[in-house]
Amino acid sequence: MPFWAFFLIIFVITVKTAWIIITYQTPVDGILTEIRNGECIVSQIDPKGPAEKSGLRIGDVVISVDSMRMEEFYFTHYILNYPAIDETAIYRIERDGKEKIILFTFGGLSAGILWFFTGVYILFILCSIASLYILLKNPGTTAARIFFIYIQLFVITSNAGFLESHSPFSFFVNVSFILAFTLLGAVLVHFHLLFPRPSVFYKKFHQIPAIIYGMGIILSLYASVLLFQSVHQPSPQSDAIFSKAIDYALRFSALTFLFAMIVVISQFITIESTLERNQLRILIVGSFFTFFATMTMAFFPALFMYLYFPYNVEVSHVLGSIIMIICILIAIFRYRIWDIEVFIRKALLYLGATAIIILSYLFLIWFVDRFISQETNLTRFVILGISVILFLVIRDRLQRMIDRLFHRETYDSATVVSDFESKLAGIYRFDELKEKIFRGMDDIFHFSFFAFHLKKENRIYEPAFVYGTTQPAAGTKYEINHELEERLQKSKVFSPEELSKKPPIFEETNGELVVPLVAEGQPSGFFICGQKRSEKIYSRQDIQVLRLLAQRVVSLLHTAGLYQKDLDRHLMLERELTRISQDMHDDVGASLTRISILSELAKNRAETDQETRQWLEQISSTSRSVTEEMSQIIWALNPKNDTLEGLIAYIRRFAHEYLEPTTINCSFDLPEKRPNLPLSVEVRRNIYLVVREALHNVVKHSGATEVVIVLTPQPPLPGERGLGGEALHPR
């Protein structure tokens, strides 16, 4: 976090503290006056204020106060000569054409107003300090820094008025107010030029913010010099010049707010991203309220005269600025994950609680004053208790409104993760698994864009599955930067906007979240999740579920990897068995056949004696037997025969060949629908040997004329495990 942020916070606290202390010590007259045709006329009187208690009325013409005539002076200058509360002055006024003498006693702020100022002071100090959290989460984001400065300037301008005192602290506070109010709109323009992305206008003219800042600083310094002259050398001329300078500063601020609204509208028109347009739509609303309040004060001040409220200017300015800040916060935290959503929701709840308690307290004080002549401490305590009870009553409704503002979607996380796992159970092929992973997650979040990336080596990644309109080239490898690699290694879901330098893969996609896949402490891939098709944001619950799903996906990929290795091993073994059986068939089989043929030829020669023929007959018979045995071995080793159908075909061929020299007829009784069951070498060979031995016994001992080989499916016996819920038993 930058050190200048702490110094700015200290400066703001100093200004606000000096303002609240001096305000408590400043006498209050309770009236507003205006000059009409050279006469100082009372235009507004605060209810139950010092002026009303002294007997002044709206429309009275102030001729003089003590010995000072008020023909050309605004009434506020006279208060500078009475720095203490309870000072008394003699007013000479004209009412209904007659002159009157009124004894006027200056007072302090009423108890209700003191409570109001104290509450507002505490609230804005907390707001100033809490804004440091934005920089803590986004120290390298220029837009975040500008927004932080905007909040500090707003806290200073919440004074919304000048202190009427000769003290150096008063001058310091007033100059700070002028500078902050003049630059507030300029800072907002700078923010809108950068958020949610740098505008096209800003890319062409980087100097625009600096020019506006320079104009604001020059104008504020000019007004500050005139303020010093007006306070220490009061005169009608200095007062008029200072008033003009303040009018110019106010109008400059109004024009900057107008320019800020134009910038945000142009951003809304030029940007095509639905997510960013939603952000800008909210900013347009806030910019309008800020512009409207400032523009009214600058160009239509007479409108405030019709709103009979002592602090209508202050309230309108503060209210407009608060709406702007709230809109910016919503635009940032509703559509971007800066990892402080919980903090924002609590802050909104506390802000609402403070507003409800203070406003209800002030309203009840005002209402009770209409029926009770004098307030007591017990009355104020009871009213405060009623305000607190009122907040407790509507607290749950306020919480629901805040949740609705952030579009919370509630669901059972455990059920969602369990359903996801059940959908992917038993899937081990990578291509199918990657698509099923997306389908399972899409059933939960309904992505408009989704990309699944897997690590190949070092920082080289490759898109494994992509869904959406904007798709990176499939199978294209790319290298990520070191910053992204570190973020992935932390195994925390984050937004691409948090990266100081985004890789090109994020520039090509509309990703909202990056979900790391971490295996054994090292990144193995990541998801890029686009916005939901409903355009609702990802909640904290969504992020937690995404992290859980990422952990399950890592386990599934690991299992699929082991399965793939085992499958590769089996394929390699099958290829080796195929090669061995082929070699045996081609080489050994051919040699045995040659031996059998040569022995037959030698045996049939005329010159061969009887003993030699017997030996040659044994050689020929043995070679034929070995050839038959080898044929069986080759059949057993060949992976192509590792099925039930292959076993049946081989047994059928063997039975017919074995029984052909005999008078025994052979038939088969097989089920019409035979399952395609895989059979190992051992099982196939054992079944074959059983059938061969049975046929041998039939030929040698039974004297039968017919043999039937039956294959029937039966349910597995207890303790047996069949395939497809049944076992096959040959008879």
Distance of CA 243 to the CA centre of its chain: 48
Q: Tell me the C-alpha distance between 618 and 596, whole Å.
A: 10
**Same domain assignment for residues 545 and 472:** yes
**Contact 665/706 with Cβ under 8 angstroms?**
yes
**Contact 707/659 with Cβ under 8 angstroms?**
yes
Q: Tell me the C-alpha distance between 516 and 494, whole Å.
A: 9
Number of neighbouring beta carbons within 10 Å of residue 528: 24
* Residue at which a domain ends, from 354, 381, 401: 401
Predicted structure pTM score? 0.54
Q: Which residues of 719-731 are buried (b: 16+ CB within 10 A; e: fewer)?
A: eeeeeeeeebeee
Q: State residue 121's pLDDT score.
A: 82
Q: State residue 576's pLDDT score.
A: 63
| Phi–psi pair at 205, nearest 5 degrees | -130, 85
Q: What is the mean pLDDT of residues 84-89?
A: 74
Q: Report which of 211, 174, 170, 168 is spatially closest to residue 189, judged by C-alpha positions.
A: 211
Asked whether residue 125 is domain-assigned, the answer is: yes
**Same domain assignment for residues 356 and 315:** no
> Helix or strand or coil: residue 556?
helix
Which residue range forms the structural domain that includes residue 459?
A: 413-553
Asked whether residue 619 is domain-assigned, the answer is: no
What is the 3-state secondary structure of 117-149?
HHHHHHHHHHHHHHCHHHHHHCCCCHHHHHHHH
Q: Which residues pair with 42 in a beta bridge?
A: 33
**Contact 518/524 with Cβ under 8 angstroms?**
yes
Q: State residue 183's pLDDT score.
A: 93
**Same domain assignment for residues 388 and 468:** no
> Helix or strand or coil: residue 232?
helix
**Same domain assignment for residues 115 and 253:** yes
Q: State residue 526's pLDDT score.
A: 93
Q: State residue 316's pLDDT score.
A: 64
Asked whether residue 601 is domain-assigned, the answer is: no
**Contact 270/193 with Cβ under 8 angstroms?**
no
Q: For helices 3-25 and 111-130, what crossing angle results, to 10°?
A: 180
Q: What is the mean pLDDT of residues 132-143?
A: 78
Q: State residue 533's pLDDT score.
A: 74
**Same domain assignment for residues 297 and 355:** no
Number of neighbouring beta carbons within 10 Å of residue 656: 11
Q: Which residues of 531-553 are buried (b: 16+ CB within 10 A; e: fewer)?
A: bbeeebbbbeebbebbeebbeeb
Asked whether residue 275 is domain-assigned, the answer is: yes
Kindly list the distances between the CA atom of residue 212 and the CA atoms of 141, 160, 173, 297, in Å, as whole numbers in the listed order. Answer: 21, 22, 23, 21
Q: DSSP secondary structure string, 582-600? A: HHIIIIIHHHHHHHHHHHH
Asked whether residue 563 is domain-assigned, the answer is: no
Q: What is the mean pLDDT of residues 171-186?
A: 91
| Mean pLDDT computed over every residue of the chain | 77
Burial class of residue 54 in the structure, from the number of CB atoms within 10 Å of its CB (0-12 exposed, 13-18 middle, 19+ buried): buried
**Same domain assignment for residues 97 and 114:** no
- Map tokens 């990541």 to a residue: 526
Q: Which of 34-38, 97-101, 130-134, 463-467 has the lowest mean pLDDT?
A: 34-38
**Same domain assignment for residues 113 and 90:** no
CATH number at residue 263: 1.20.1070
Asked whether residue 408 is domain-assigned, the answer is: no
**Contact 424/437 with Cβ under 8 angstroms?**
yes
**Same domain assignment for residues 257 and 347:** no
* Residue at which a domain ends, from 553, 584, 614: 553
**Same domain assignment for residues 442 and 481:** yes
Q: Are strands 39-45 and 61-65 parallel, antiparallel or unpaired?
A: antiparallel
* Residue at which a domain ends, from 82, 105, 128: 105
CA angle 172, 178, 181 (to 5 degrees): 130
**Same domain assignment for residues 348 and 492:** no
Q: Tell me the C-alpha distance between 361 and 51, whole Å.
A: 25
621 or 132: which leads in pLDDT: 132
Beta strand extents in 436-539 (DSSP E only):
450-457, 460-467, 478-479, 511-519, 522-530
Q: State residue 516's pLDDT score.
A: 92
Confidence of residue 263 (pLDDT cuts 50, 70, 90): very high
Q: Tell me the C-alpha distance between 224 and 246, whole Å.
A: 9
Kindly list the distances between the CA atom of residue 278 and the CA atoms of 159, 188, 627, in Å, as whole numbers in the listed order. Answer: 33, 19, 81
**Same domain assignment for residues 127 and 267:** yes
Asked whether residue 175 is domain-assigned, the answer is: yes
Q: What is the pLDDT of residues 547-590, one digit of tens each?
A: 999 988 988 888 887 777 776 676 676 666 666 666 555 556 56
**Contact 729/714 with Cβ under 8 angstroms?**
yes
Q: Tell me the C-alpha distance between 192 and 290, whole Å.
A: 14
* Identity of the highest mean pLDDT range in 102-111, 467-476, 544-553, 610-619: 544-553
**Same domain assignment for residues 295 and 220:** yes
Give the count of domains, the chain.
Answer: 5
Q: Tell me the C-alpha distance between 709 and 78, whole Å.
A: 125
* Confidence check: pLDDT of 727 > 50: no
568 or 503: which leads in pLDDT: 503
86 or 382: which leads in pLDDT: 382
Burial class of residue 100 in the structure, from the number of CB atoms within 10 Å of its CB (0-12 exposed, 13-18 middle, 19+ buried): middle
Q: State residue 15's pLDDT score.
A: 92
Q: How far apart are the first and last CA of the chain?
A: 83
Q: What is the mean pLDDT of residues 372-378?
A: 68
Q: Tell me the C-alpha distance between 356 and 397, whole Å.
A: 13
Q: Tell me the C-alpha distance between 674 and 104, whole Å.
A: 113
Asked whether residue 582 is domain-assigned, the answer is: no
Q: What is the pLDDT of residues 453-473, one digit of tens each?
A: 888 888 888 888 888 765 555
Q: What is the pLDDT of residues 219-240, one digit of tens each?
A: 999 999 988 887 777 776 777 7
